[in-house]
Structure 1
């Protein structure tokens, strides 16, 4: 199956003067034909024309959407030009048991290829008996501190 590379060029906006082109339509067709022929000399094949939206800045903070006519060209790639991605597979050294497993403790022993998860104990209580997130002994003067009897700083 052949592979292609693509080139997208903005369509001309104005006609191109020629001796045989007298009307604006003929001048525009001449500009389009000249552009397509110039690109075709480099081996590009005309494929299609698309109208695509483009968001543009309008003033300092505004944005507007305009539509642009784009000419799409393609050309077949040679086998030498096709770049196939190189995939490397690297094995992890050592046994699979060296990778720690998280979750509930397993019943196996480290010798059989399983590992035990670390034990997590209860949260430590503060000296005043509270177990909130502030453990530095300072109060921030919030309503919760006043409710719990803590002095404001």
Structure 2
């Protein structure tokens, strides 16, 4: 079955208001749960979470100044749904 996909970046940091009635873990869970439910309404199902590492090499001047390669990680949440046959 052919699929179509949507990929959303997960934020590195999530700023949430401090609440007495829930822990930070519950607040993060609720935020992700909201995204999952919003996507489900459109027929999208959660497929997987991916981490992509990106290495950035210094430019010419940066190399001359001794800058090192920097690797950053990005997290994504992937949704899929059957591709329409139209």
* TM over 0.5, shorter chain: yes
**TM-score normalised by the chain length of structure 2:** 0.70
- The C-alpha deviation readout for 1:41-93, integer Å capped at 9, x for no partner, is 222110011111123588x745521111110110101211xxxxxxxxxxxxx
Asked which structure has the greater RCO (Cα within 8 Å, sep 6+), the reply is 2
Greater Cα radius of gyration, structure 1 or 2: 1
Q: How many residues align?
A: 79
State the TM-score, normalized to the length of structure 1. 0.42
Bigger helix fraction: 2
Aligned to 2:83: 77
Higher strand share: 2
Decide whether aligned partners of structure 1 residues 49 and 21 sit closer, same or farther in structure 2, where only a CA change above 3 A counts.
farther
CA RMSD of aligned residues (A): 2.8
Which sections of structure 2, spanning at least 5 residues, go unmatched? none
